[in-house]
Every structure is written in C-alpha cells, then in structure tokens.
C-alpha cells in the first residue's frame, strides 16, 4: 500500500546524509586559529566552548495517528494535539482524518502507528481477520445513542407497529435500537425495521417515512430542532467507545513514544473537561464550525451527559457490551473475552509516574 504521507513531513533521523553535511559545513567554515596574545600559546579550535558546537536537538519521535470522522466524539485526539504537549515531549505527531475502514487497513500495513476508533472496528478486525489489534487506552466507555421519536409517541405501546429506522446488523445503531426497544417492553417483531442508515434518519423522520431512530450528535440536535423527542436515553449503557488502538506486534517498537503520547492525550481530556472556552475551541477545529449553539451543545454533551474518561482505562463491561452487540453477526464474539482486546501496561506506567 502506498504511504499516506509524503516523506517530507518527517525530520531526517540517524543514518541520513544531513548530519554528515552539517559536519562538513562546520569543518569548512571554521576560522583558522591564530597566535594568541604575547606570551600565550596560540588558541586551538577546540580550546574554548562555542555555541555553534553545542549538540543539535534530538530528532522528534514520529507517530502517525488517525481519527475517523468530524464528529464530537473524536475530539480527544484534537484536544491532545492542541495542548502542545506532543512537541514539548519531543514527539512529531501527524494527525489525520481517515475513514475507519481505510485507517484499519493502513494500521495493518504499517502506514499508521495508532488509530483513534471505537471498539466494534477493533473487535471485528481481530475476530474476523486475525488482525491482533489492541486498545492501549480508552477515552469513552458509554453509549452515545438514544432513541428519538415523533412527538406523538410517548410509550412502547405508541411505537408498536410503527416504522423504526436502523442500520445494518452489528452496528452500534442496530444494538442501540435493540436495547431501546427492550426497555420499552418491545421486541424487533413488534415494530417495522427499516435499514436506511444513519444519513437517512433525520430526513426520514422529517418526511414521516420512519417514526423513530437511534441518534447521536449532530443528528440528535437536528431532530430536536424539528420537534422530535428523546424516547429512551441509553447514556448509562456500558459500551467501549473511542480509544487508541495499535497492532500488538508494534507495541515494543512504539514503546518509547507511547508514554509521552498518552500523557498528552490525558492532559487533553482533562483540560477539555475543565476549560470550557478552550474545549469549545478544540471542537470548533474538529467540527469546522463557529456556530455557538452547536459548540455549546456538543461541549455539554461530552462533559455532562457522557463525559470522557481521563483515567484512560478501557472498560471491561464496555467491551462486553460490544461483544454482545456483535454476537448475532459475528459468531466468534460469543466466546471472546474482553481482556483479549486491551493492554493497560502503558497506562499503568503513566499512573506510576504521577506525583
């Protein structure tokens, strides 16, 4: 697979031609030593310290990281980048938005080092393709979907027999729909499921094509503005959402950079939660909007409704929720254990270094 980044993005490291060229330039331009004052020996080029002879700064360590979409849940990596901690720690971190399927492929081929992604992508890649990907940190361990419905629907009985928009089996939306119906005392056979995908939910609701759907930001905001109401909130459901994943085989190679990376990642989450103005600036950068209503609503959602987890611990219960959501479409999920999908060694080391 062709590399996703031009080589010119990265500083030249040991073994290249640049260090030798610099040494040659210094040797050619250094002044010739002349005689010293009377009674003193001539000075030699190495007899006095020179500022120009100071060791050059070490090359920045390189990490290539991606996130999947311009939606609020992906703000942790943007917040980490905006702290300036990467540079202070000597890390050159290239952050790009790359669709999840493409980023998983790039991770497997070595064109990415880390990916910020939710657990279903990791679990599916591991169980279906033997990818052996692993979470090294988690950032959100709750579901961010809730079931929205037409304003005349207030109960399960009101929804019975109605058309409910959904996504393909095994997706977070399909799982959330099942959970919401169960909380209303309904089964899948009690409603008419229409798999139109998330992009069709709000237009479908507005056109009366569907009467309910599981939504999250920004679709939930659009639905509220159109008069639709939350019928079942699912924000209490353990569900491993966003986190940082890597190839298990790459962990030793990446180890020197992972501690400073995770330290910056944690500081980004902490500042996002504590500094509203700064947090909304991070969201504005991610979402490419200055709309104050959108920024406020998104900030409130990820600091009050479903806050991020600065502990960086992956939720065992959240991973089990993901496995439960996939077991009907991915048979291997029925016997898989949550522990096989995360490695907390670097978070443990980070915690041990706290004052």
Which domains does the chain show, CATH number per domain? Answer: 61-142+240-352 (3.40.190.10), 146-233 (3.40.190.10)
d(CA 323, CA 321): 5
- pLDDT at res. 54: 57
Residues recorded for the chain = 355
Q: What is the pLDDT of residues 275-309, one digit of tens each?
A: 999 999 999 999 999 999 999 999 999 999 999 99
8 Å CB contact between 59 and 13: yes
In three-state secondary structure terms, 267 is: helix
Tell me the three-class secondary structure of 193-240, residue by residue. EEECCHHHHHHHHHHCCCCEEEECCCHHHHHHHCCCEEEEECCCCECC
**Hey, which bits of the chain come out as E strands?**
61-67, 91-97, 114-118, 133-138, 146-149, 163-166, 192-195, 212-215, 229-233, 242-247
Q: What is the pLDDT of residues 104-159, one digit of tens each?
A: 999 999 999 999 999 999 999 999 989 999 999 999 999 999 999 999 999 999 99
Beta 242-247 vs 133-138: how paired, if at all?
A: antiparallel
d(CA 4, CA 333): 32
d(CA 186, CA 149): 15
d(CA 302, CA 60): 32
8 Å CB contact between 159 and 191: yes
- pLDDT at res. 59: 55
Q: In angstroms, how far apart are the furthest CA atoms of the chain?
A: 107
Q: For 216-220, what is the mean pLDDT?
A: 93
- pLDDT at res. 355: 73
d(CA 71, CA 288): 10
- DSSP secondary structure, 103-124, as one string: HHHHHHHTS-SEEEEEHHHHHH
Q: What is the pLDDT of residues 18-66, one digit of tens each?
A: 333 333 333 333 343 444 444 444 444 444 444 445 555 555 689 999 9
Q: What is the pLDDT of residues 69-115, one digit of tens each?
A: 999 999 999 999 999 999 999 999 999 999 998 999 999 999 999 99
Q: Supply the mean pLDDT for the chain.
A: 86
Neighbouring residues of 249: CB distance < 8 A, sequence distance ≥ 6: 132
d(CA 79, CA 289): 16
Preceding amide of 79 cis, omega within 30: no
8 Å CB contact between 122 and 33: no
In three-state secondary structure terms, 62 is: strand
Q: What is the pLDDT of residues 236-290, one digit of tens each?
A: 999 999 999 999 999 999 999 999 999 999 999 999 999 999 999 999 999 999 9
8 Å CB contact between 229 and 148: yes
The owner of tokens 């966003």 is 242
Read off the pLDDT band of 7 (50, 70, 90): very low
Residues 267-287: b if buried by 16+ CB within 10 A, e if exposed: bbbebbbeeeeebbbbbbebb
Structure tokens at 237: 């459901």
d(CA 88, CA 171): 39
pLDDT over 50 (residue 4): no
The owner of tokens 């056979």 is 189
Structure tokens at 227: 């008069």
């Amino acid at each position: 697979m062709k590399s996703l980044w031009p080589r010119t993005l990265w500083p030249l490291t040991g073994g290249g031609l640049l260090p030798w060229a610099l040494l040659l330039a210094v040797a050619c331009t250094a002044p010739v030593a002349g005689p010293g004052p009377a009674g003193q020996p001539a000075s030699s080029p190495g007899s006095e310290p020179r500022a120009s002879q100071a060791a050059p700064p070490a090359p920045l360590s390189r990490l290539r990281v991606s996130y999947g979409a311009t939606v609020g849940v992906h703000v942790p990596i943007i917040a980490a980048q905006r702290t300036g901690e990467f540079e202070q720690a000597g890390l050159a971190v290239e952050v790009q938005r790359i669709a999840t399927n493409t980023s998983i492929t790039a991770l497997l081929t070595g064109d990415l080092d880390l990916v910020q992604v939710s657990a279903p992508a990791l679990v599916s890649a591991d169980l279906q393709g033997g990818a052996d990907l692993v979470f090294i940190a988690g950032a959100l361990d709750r579901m961010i979907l809730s079931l929205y419905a037409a304003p005349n629907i207030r109960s399960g009985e009101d929804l019975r027999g109605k058309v409910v928009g959904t996504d393909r089996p095994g997706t977070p939306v399909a799982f959330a729909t099942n959970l919401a119906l169960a909380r209303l005392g309904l089964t899948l056979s009690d409603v008419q499921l229409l798999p139109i995908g998330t992009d069709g939910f709000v237009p479908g609701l507005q056109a009366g094509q569907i009467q309910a759907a599981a939504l999250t930001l920004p679709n939930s905001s659009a639905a509220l503005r159109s008069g639709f109401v939350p019928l079942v909130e699912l924000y209490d459901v353990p569900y491993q959402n966003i986190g940082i994943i890597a190839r298990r085989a790459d962990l030793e190679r990446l180890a020197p950079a992972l501690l400073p990376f995770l330290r910056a990642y944690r500081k980004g989450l902490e500042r996002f939660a504590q500094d509203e103005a700064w947090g909304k600036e991070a969201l504005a950068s991610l979402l490419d909007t200055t709309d104050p209503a959108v920024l406020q609503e998104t900030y409130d959602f990820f600091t009050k409704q479903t806050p991020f987890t600065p502990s960086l611990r992956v939720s065992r219960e959240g991973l089990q929720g993901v496995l439960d959501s996939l077991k009907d479409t991915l048979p291997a999920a029925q016997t898989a254990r949550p522990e096989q999908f995360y490695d907390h060694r670097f978070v443990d080391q980070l915690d041990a270094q706290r004052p």
